[in-house]
Chains A and B, each alone.
Chain A
């Protein structure tokens, strides 16, 4: 794979996955745990 393709692959494949991972992390940050669990 040529070097010119790497940035394109990053924004087309890695970036959307990273945004979904961020959404999961942000949504779960500070979420109250059910009673009796740590």
Chain B
């Protein structure tokens, strides 16, 4: 049983291929807008509110949203809602509070990465924060990109019968093609295209499926008949509920999301982006939840899903409810989710190596003209992409081990520095270093040794420890200085 079997239809395959190739056309369209390093990494700070909103949302949502969340709702019922409430609310306030301040403080031409902001904010002339932050971002985000490419490769392999190696390489080529042409602008516009594809899938599928069942009330009646616990939002227990909501704490530390706020033309427009982004986040999340719930009602037996895998419910429902054209489009939605995250993360890896480490640390900020830097940054992107491909195809265990810490590690370390750095004037350089180190270290230690016995999601203690370490170190240093 193959969930992608519908792609054997030529029309479905053609529509699916179009969703994969359309972004390259978008890249060609954006190539003229990329003339400087600032254009390449932050869209020349000229992006509109819709693009920033949809780009921030689709960069943050991987295939976890389409496949993982719907699978979780299939298994756990309405309790899966807590996995989305945290990040939807955090990202709402993030647009308005963090995004606006970050954009205002990065108005100068020298600030085009999150580490540029950090160095300027803490007057860190010795690059201590830039080097530490770059190490954290490079390790976690490269692993993240590799994991996304691995997911894309496996899905392409299942869909088209290719080897996983070919699938991984094709996924990388599909994003590098337009990234090299249009940099951030191409990535951001493609995020919009992919957000629309995801929206079509996660609206059309649950609406059609619920209509077939006879309405939302009938959905609940059928779920209750299957297992009343599926209707209980608190069935998963307090610890799991806090852990689910705590996922949201990771958002302020994801550099590929933060850089979207820095790219807007006018910081005040982030208010509009907050509304557009929140509506998009809500529609996508509740759409995916409903896919899982209605999937459970229509296909109650796991045996009817390929590999008895609940994460296949989106694909199986799509095959059962729609004709070939919609099937091709909605399968394209899975890849849209994967690739819109991979390209945004790969671009940040590129900027961390090309801009932060090479230009600012090794060359002391004087690496050459804009044309030379653009050439260099494109070469760095190809090299980073090649490393991610090799990791994705050959070191799957290492990649998945690193990814376990990625969301929490970035959230606790970068996130705590961003929040304290923007809102607490007394926070200073050594405090920021303490937050970076503590956030990463506690995430790893908690995940490996303490998560199983305590049942607490590592990001929550790591985030608290990073805030505390940063605040105490700052106060101590100030006292000594005084």
Chain A interfacial positions (CB closer than 8 Å to B) = 1-2, 4-5, 7-13, 15-16, 19-20, 22-24, 26-28, 31-32
Contact, CB under 8 Å: B286 / A12: yes
Q: Is B423 on the interface with A (CB-CB < 8 A)?
A: no
Q: How far is the CA of A5 from the CA of B275 in the complex (A)?
A: 30
- Is B271 on the interface with A (CB-CB < 8 A)? yes
Interface residues of B, Cβ cutoff 8 Å to A: 78, 81, 85, 88-89, 92-93, 96, 216-217, 220-221, 223-224, 228, 231-234, 268, 271-272, 274-275, 278-279, 282, 285-286, 289-290, 293
Chain B residues whose CB sits within 8 angstroms of the CB of A28 once the complex forms: 271
B289 adjacent to A27 (CB under 8 Å): no
Contact between A2 and B96, CB atoms less than 8 A apart: no
Q: Is B81 a contact of A12 with CB atoms below 8 Å? A: yes
Q: Which residue from chain A places its CB closest to the CB of B274 in the assembled complex?
A: A27
Nearest residue, chain B, Cβ from A10: B233
Q: Could you say which residues of chain A place their CB within 8 Å of the CB of B92?
A: 19, 22-23, 26
Find chain B residues with CB under 8 A from A26 CB.
Answer: 92-93, 96, 274
Docked complex Cα distance between A2 and B217 (Å) = 10
Which of A8, A15, A23, A27 sits near B85, CB closer than 8 Å? A15
Instruction: Check B279 against A4 for contact (C-beta < 8 Å).
Output: no
Residues of A within 8 Å of B285, CB to CB, are 16
Closest to B231 in A: A8
If the complex has contacts A4-B231, A20-B278, A26-B93, are A13 and B216 also in contact, measured as CB distance less than 8 A? yes
Interface centre among A2, A5, A27, A32 (most CB of B within 10 A): A27
User: B217 contacts which chain A residues (CB < 8 A)?
Assistant: 1, 5
Question: Are B224 and A5 in touch, CB under 8 angstroms?
Answer: yes
Closest to A13 in B: B216
Interface CB pairs A-B, < 8 A, 12: A1-B217, A2-B224, A5-B220, A7-B78, A7-B231, A9-B216, A11-B81, A15-B85, A16-B285, A22-B92, A26-B93, A26-B96
List, in ascending order, chain A residues with CB within 8 A of B78's CB.
Answer: 7-8, 11-12
Cα separation A31 to B221 with both chains bound (whole Å): 44
- Given A7-B231, A24-B275, 9 more pairs with CB closer than 8 A: A8-B78, A8-B223, A11-B81, A12-B78, A12-B289, A12-B290, A13-B216, A16-B285, A16-B286
- With A11-B233, A12-B290 as known contacts, state yes or no: A23 contacts B274, CB within 8 Å: yes
Given A5-B224, A11-B81, A15-B81: A27 touches B275 (CB 8 Å cut-off): yes
